[in-house]
Structure 1
């Protein structure tokens, strides 16, 4: 479209100059160019008898009318392609969402929601984001493959489109506490089995969110203040902990020393069910370190004793070697083979 308009302006300017050089007034020249380019069909302003003027007029007709057609065609293509791509994209997104099951719904695709979406995408966890800007958001344009629904997350029909009845987790990270309360209340009514994680800014909102059905409330200001206090009181220890546990572009830094955190649900068919930690962890040289257990009733035990028995429905948080973790829930080790760990260029075998 820009190229077409540029050619049209250039042709019009040259033709106007040509008519003025031939002795026409500037007004007559401009009028002649306009009625010629747009094929209005009015009579000639002045008789065109000389071959140079006729040649100029013919060139103006061909070049000017061609530039007009090119510009209009570009505009039509822009409109048609944009609407077509938008319609096809919406249909494809709806189909992809309908195929999801046990996914996560992110309510709010701002700064916090975008960061959360990238973490889930890196982990391979399916999710749907809901935002008032939707697919038109510049944040969504930067992230290929992310499903973003345009709409208000507090409305039931929008949550239905996100597949809330098939979802496993809903994270509401809107900047407005009242909106997070309303989303939590609506989501809990639509799916009683849903795990809801809510963001809160005001401490007075935490109890409201829990009363409305939130399983976990994340107080961003409290977390930020706690982080800053650690940097003030124990800066070296905090920086070292960050290096071992935070995610970098290459992945979790715990991988660099051959370790990783994970969690497992103890099901009825699991070989770990009804066994004590002493039977699971290898005495003297642990292949796994069970750092916490969340019971069926929601209680959490940190650093559980060796005599603790795992029950069906418990969630076990484990720290172990990368090679051992995938086999934890299906094949608890009776004896661990030597492992090689590399940290800061030093390799040790345990």
Structure 2
């Protein structure tokens, strides 16, 4: 539900992956964002109206995404899809971070747009290591994304891992991702996707900053 920038992009992405899609929007002009190649169904109406949902094929659906510009419409639609039509996989886009937390506790997975966007900008503003890209629910393991520090250029991933105790999951080089190999030599401009224990993160970044030492070989 919702054929704005997010909804139309989501619909095209899912269709490109081979899924059958139905898009609901109260404004028929919004469907122009889908482009001429979109082969899915478009239904004009309110996404929380049960008859509209039935016309869109909700009774045959595997998943439902509520991504309109209105928090209330999204959460009502998501709850109708889950509670009245038995759709297990439901996601609602929510602008208000406080509401998002409440609905998560009610069992409706949400994407808190404002919080997510602010978090992404924050990570690009502050120095590497201060805020991870990901932290597991237990708070023990974190993932960080950072350009390879200058002291490590020309050294292998294996040497970096042995010195820091972290693990490089993959490296992005010239925009292409590569699964990390122990003997891979790091180059200027490489982006490391590094996993480490939260408790030892300060030491990991200290080692990254200072570079390799002979006694650590």
Please indicate the TM-score interval, normalised by the length of the shorter structure.
Answer: 0.5 to 0.7
TM-score by length of 2: 0.56
Name the structure 2 match of 1:137: 31
2:121 to 219, 222, 228: 228
Name the structure 1 match of 2:98: 204
- The structural deviation recorded for 1:145 is 1.6
SS of residue matched to 2:46? coil
Whether contact under 8 Å (1:140, 1:148) holds in the other structure is no
Name the structure 2 match of 1:185: 79
SS of residue matched to 1:130? strand
Whether contact under 8 Å (2:22, 2:56) holds in the other structure is yes
Higher-RCO chain (CA-CA 8 Å, sequence separation at least 6): 2
Whether contact under 8 Å (2:20, 2:40) holds in the other structure is no
C-alpha distance in structure 2 between counterparts of 1:234 and 1:118, whole Å: 35
Name the structure 1 match of 2:189: none
2:112 to 219, 242, 245: 219
Name the structure 1 match of 2:190: none
C-alpha distance in structure 2 between counterparts of 1:186 and 1:144, whole Å: 26
Name the structure 1 match of 2:22: 128
Q: Deviations over 1:40-68 (max 9, x none)?
A: xxxxxxxxxxxxxxxxxxxxxxxxxxxxx
- The structural deviation recorded for 1:133 is 2.3
C-alpha distance in structure 2 between counterparts of 1:179 and 1:166, whole Å: 22
- The structural deviation recorded for 1:155 is 0.4
Unpaired stretches in structure 2, ≥5 consecutive residues: 129-143, 149-168, 181-194, 197-217
Comparing both structures, which one devotes a greater share of its residues to helix? Answer: 1
Q: Which has the larger radius of gyration?
A: 1
TM-score by length of 1: 0.36
Whether contact under 8 Å (1:132, 1:151) holds in the other structure is yes
Name the structure 1 match of 2:88: 194
SS of residue matched to 2:43? strand
RMSD over equivalenced CA pairs, Å: 3.4
- The number of residues matched between the two structures is 146
5 Å matches for 1:14-163? 107-134=1-28, 137-163=31-57
